[in-house]
Amino acid sequence: MKEFSLEEYLSNGVEGVVKGMINASIKYPKASVFMIQHGIDSKKARVIRHQLEEEGCHIPPFLIVSITNQCNLHCKGCYARANYSCVDGASNDGLMSASNWDNVFSQAEELGIEFVLLIGGEPFVRKDILEVAAKHRKIVFPIFTNGTMIDKDYVGLLNKNRNLMPIFSIEGKQRTTDERRGRGVYEILQKSMKELRNKGIMFGASITVTNENIDEVLSDEFVSDLKESGTKIVVYVEYVPTDEQSKSLALIEKERAKLEKQLNEIRRKREGMVFFSFPGDEKSSGGCLAAGRGFFHINAHGGAEPCPFSPYSDTSILNITLKEALHSPLFYKLQTQGNLMKEHMGGCVLYEQKERVEALLKESL
């Protein structure tokens, strides 16, 4: 039996993602031209990662970055507010500057990182950083947004820079979405989607899946609504509890199996759309892909963290290179001591090991 290769597994997965996005962009000429070019760049990035792997340095193809700690909404169960990485009345003081992020994105290109997911807070609060990201044409920047801040100027920015791809957060239909995100948010989302669709700008949707909305968001009716809206990329994110009271909303193993099974059915039926689940099938990837296995997270202050749901850092990207950050003591311990391979409830293997991760962090500092 062939030995499992994480690098090959991830690169094959990225190849499938890129092919899917090329197919999804066919009716959007500008997006299609960009994605075809990215397909060429993707092959070159894979060669870079493979060469570094041969040298003993594993490079994940994905990076997640929080470019702000500000947001204009107060969504129920927000993990960013629960761990105080998103706060009201925050300023940009002490946060990574646009120049800092420009440097990070340049390093990411050099290492063969293909996708940098922009999160927050609300990423559209930081236009200066989005403008910097737009310059890095070899990277695709999915922007996870609540969709309420996309004005005429932003539509222009997105229209000129097809490597910036908004991913709208939606919880289901109007009642479900407004219940979590605030009255009127669903309607604003629909208007933003319509405007981008009319401009031929490729966008997606991010759905936080709980045991309360799982049937709704997997239904033919809801997926049809997304397709009608022009949504090309759909990301199903398993809910991660923010406290003991919200643990009951997390998916149990039976529901996680249901999510994967129905997603496979949806993929077969819905051509012209790309569907993902996060964290997805951890068994096939040898465990959770956080802490540098498949991705890691950089917070708004520059701290390198295993993932957004595990906000612990012993390393600042302001002091070392991106490549060096991948070898942080905390990441190494999480990868080698079995923490990423444990069975767990809910969407995050490290959430249930909070005390253990905190102990490993103390050892690393």
What pLDDT, in 10s, does the model give residues 91-118? Answer: 777 899 999 999 999 999 999 999 999 9
pLDDT means per 10 residues, the chain with 365 residues, are 82 94 94 96 97 96 96 89 83 89 98 97 96 98 97 97 98 97 96 96 96 96 97 94 81 90 93 87 78 96 94 96 96 93 76 89 90
Q: What is the pLDDT of residue 343?
A: 74
d(CA 169, CA 340): 27
Q: pLDDT per residue over 278-296, tens digit each?
A: 887 666 777 899 999 999 9
pLDDT of 240 reads: 86
Cis omega before residue 279 (within 30°)?
A: yes
Angle of the 127-134 helix axis to the 152-160 helix axis, nearest 10 = 20
Specify the fold of 61-364. Answer: TIM Barrel (3.20.20)
For residue 204, cis peptide bond before it (omega within 30 degrees of 0): no
Domain ranges of the chain: 61-364
Could you give the CA distance from residue 145 to residue 119 in angstroms, rounded to a whole number? Answer: 7
With H, G, I as helix, E, B as strand and everything else as coil, classify residue 288: coil
- % of the chain with per-residue pLDDT over 70: 97
What's the Cα-to-Cα distance from 292 to each of 165, 176, 181, rounded to whole Å?
23, 34, 31
Q: What is the pLDDT of residue 133?
A: 98
pLDDT of residue 124: 97
Count of residues making up the chain: 365
- In tens, the pLDDT along 137-165 reads 999 999 999 999 999 999 999 999 999 99
**Runs of H (alpha helix) within the chain:** 6-24, 29-54, 79-82, 98-111, 127-134, 152-160, 174-181, 185-198, 214-217, 220-229, 253-269, 322-325, 329-336, 354-364
Which residue reads 């030995």 in tokens? 3
Handedness of CA 244, 248, 253, 255 (dihedral sign): negative
Q: The tokens of 278 are what?
A: 């996060």
d(CA 268, CA 262): 10
Q: Residue 145: enclosing H or E segment and its boundaries? A: strand 141-145
| Helix (H), strand (E) counts: the chain | 14, 9
Measured between alpha carbons, how far is 56 from 3 in angstroms, rounded to an integer? 17
Q: Residue 26's CB: how many other CB atoms inside 10 A?
A: 13
Q: State the CB neighbour count (10 A cutoff) for residue 65.
A: 26
Q: Which two tokens stand for residue 61?
A: 């193809």
Can you give the pLDDT at residue 359? 94
